[in-house]
Amino acid sequence: MSEPSLQNGVQVIEGYAKTLPETPGVYRMLDHRGDVLYVGKAKALKRRVTSYTKTERLSLRIQRMVAATMSMEFVHTQTETEALLLEANLIKKYKPKYNILLRDDKYFYYIEITNHPFPRLGRHRGAQKPGNLYFGPFASSPAVYEALESLHRTFRLRPCSDAFFAARKRVCLEYHLKRCNGPCVGKISQENYHESVTQTVAFLKGKGQGLQEELAQHMYKASQDQDYETAAVYRDRIKALTHLQKQQTVNVASLQDTDVFAVVQEGDETVIQIFFYRMGRNYGSINLFPKRMDKDNIADSFEIFLALFYTDKTPPKEILLSHPLPPHSTLEAALSQKANHKITLSCPQKGEKALVVGQALMNAKEELSRRQASHLSHQQHLKNLADFLDIPPLARIEVYDNSHLQGTNRVGAMIVFGPQGFDKTSYRTYKIRTPALPQGGDDYAMMKEVMTRRFLPKETSDTPQILPDLLLIDGGIGQINTVQKVLTDLNLHIPVLGISKGPDRNAGNEQFHRPGLPSFELQGRKDLLFFLQRLRDEAHRFAIGAHRKKRDKQLTFSKLEEIPGVGAARKRTLLQHFGSAKGVADASPQDLVKVPGISPSLAQLIFDTLRATR
């Protein structure tokens, strides 16, 4: 196989371009391992692919991509609109090195109404389940909690899980606080409960005014029939609904179902501020920091960013932008096709909508300034630590900690810190395989295993190993010596620093350790002390979380094994159906009985057994 070079890459691309038609489609550039370097779309594949052979017009970044290209793959589509949607899906799937990439946006929150005889009204984030209804997105957890608090007081739909609902024998506190109608014990009929569900959905779809009129009619009819108790219920609901509609302080009447995007670029940094408006009310805002947006071609980059953003979300009817898209963009048609209704994209220049976009743009600029200032602070901490330790400049610190409970559910954890702060995409956990000692955990053996697995070269991989500039170990001299021995055996020269609690295990009196040197404190350098404490605490938090997750999973497994009639096959079927041990533990008897091989009596037995462990 020939070595990667710009000339070889051009020859590869020219070979494919000769046979391509002038039709829409998507292309993938692959390296010598078959990994996807780049995914692109084209209105005319032949013309677009040929453009990569004119190297004098390419940026240095794209020239490097061409040089690494060893093969290409193509998918032909009927229209450019289809190509745009496919491109976004493939970028999400492959996360190519040279494409714009988004952070996983699972942190967006939605209001969820479940598909259940007595639906639950609650908060949700993550994959959306077929059959359930979702309203949002909300940019933060407090925003969705505030909305849910008002919705529960207004419509009184249950907030509890299906398992909790199925187990109730009497009403809970939510009923007495008038935030739930008590369907679990028959305080409301299914017909009347579904009327509340219908009213909730109507309100969340922006039909609040019509809903108030409908409730007023019901109240009047109930009073005419001298059913004053029912009339009082409708009266209270109208009052709560009026309060709910008034409590929004950031209203823009002209923005009923709208997302607002503002992009700001400076140097290699890009920030995109997004405002979410639903029913004329602001559902919050969020900042995204996409990687590798082309500052020389902001229109094309903005287009693919939006396509990526909406690959797993339903777009609103209106999208306002701070920058125009390419002149012949097909994004509007693509999103309309995805949503099954007309979507409008615009870049307003005057009026109320332009003011909202301007506000988003101002927020984006301020956020970028804060982020750059934060990066300078991180870089200063790294420089100060390197100077103090008299080691080369630091760009990557790896911090390690172990967690176990008397030798059970043992895990090792690694976190990473760099010039941009904590790099959570690089965090790792290690399930400890070394046998535990009879008296409990062996911290030295655990640390040795973690270090060996982290730094031992992988025989099956030809990807260069990323090495840290410093190892920070949560432990004393014994752990430091263990780590140093592993590094010496692997012929690695990485500085090691240990941090342990000082006398009486008081925070602030930490002892620091380096191989072959006396231990020391940092009483005179509070800036470095606080920085290293912060790194240690983050590693500790991550390790504890991994340990608890493993412990809870094992507890569910062990309890399942104690249940008569649940063998290995049924346990496997349950886990496959619910996706995790937590999913099994949270399932109601009605959910469990849907699993093949689980009878109603066995479902109740599983539910009662797992509930007793909580």
pTM above 0.85, yes or no: no
Q: So what's the pLDDT on residue 247? A: 43
**CATH superfamily name and code, 6-94:** GIY-YIG endonuclease (3.40.1440.10)
Across the range 134-140, mean pLDDT stands at 77
| Pairwise pLDDT comparison (124 vs 282), residue with the higher score | 124
Selection from 98-107, 209-218, 395-404, 505-514 with the highest mean pLDDT: 395-404
Residue 383 above 50 pLDDT? Answer: yes
Least confident piece of the model among 65-79, 137-151, 386-400: 137-151
Which pLDDT band, with edges at 50, 70 and 90, does 452 fall under?
very high
pLDDT band at 300 (very low <50, low <70, confident <90, very high): confident
Helices (H), 517-599: 526-562, 568-578, 581-586, 589-592
Q: What is the 3-state secondary structure (H, E, C) of 158-198?
A: CCCCHHHHHHCCCCCHHHHCCCCCCHHHCCCCHHHHHHHHH
Mean pLDDT over the full length of the chain: 83
Of 129-138, 344-353, 529-538, 562-571, the poorest mean pLDDT is in 562-571
Residues of each domain in the chain carrying CATH 3.30.420.10: 257-367
Whether residue 113 has pLDDT greater than 90: yes
CATH no. of 257-367: 3.30.420.10
Q: Measuring CA to CA, how many Å separate 303 from each of 8, 329, 331, 470?
A: 31, 8, 7, 40
Mean pLDDT value of segment 383-389: 93
pLDDT of 248 reads 43
pLDDT at residue number 502? 66
When pLDDT is averaged across residues 232-252 and rounded to a whole number, the result is 59
DSSP state of 431: E
Q: What is the rounded CA–CA span in Å between residue 232 and residue 10?
A: 77
Q: What's the confidence (pLDDT) of residue 118?
A: 94
Residue 466 CB-half CA count within 13 A: 7
> Alpha-carbon dihedral of residues 479, 485, 488, 494, nearest 10 degrees?
0
pLDDT of residue 282: 73
3-state secondary structure (DSSP) of residue 142: helix
The answer, yes or no, to whether residue 459 has pLDDT greater than 70, is no
* Residues 581 and 557: beta-carbon distance below 8 Å: yes
Asked if residue 357 has pLDDT above 50, the reply is yes
* Portions of the chain given CATH number 1.10.150.20: 563-612
Higher pLDDT, 267 or 91: 91
What's CA 177's distance to the chain center, in Å? 34
Q: Is the pLDDT of residue 73 over 70?
A: yes
**Out of 51-65, 233-247, 318-332, 400-414, least confident range:** 233-247
Q: Where in the chain is the domain with CATH 3.40.1440.10?
A: 6-94
- Pick 422 or 255 by higher pLDDT: 422
List, for residues 479-520, the tens digit of each pLDDT value: 999 999 999 999 999 999 999 886 655 556 788 999 989 999
CATH code 3.30.470.10 for 397-550? no
Q: In the Cβ-directed half-sphere of 592, how many Cα atoms lie within 13 Å?
A: 27
Instruction: Please say whether the structural domain 563-612 has been given the CATH code 1.10.150.20.
Output: yes
Strand partners, 408: 405
**Nearest Cα residue to 580 out of 602, 604, 601, 560:** 560
Query: Can you give the pLDDT at residue 106?
Result: 52
Per the listing, tokens 């009204």 go with 121
Answer with the residue of higher pLDDT: 441 or 193.
193
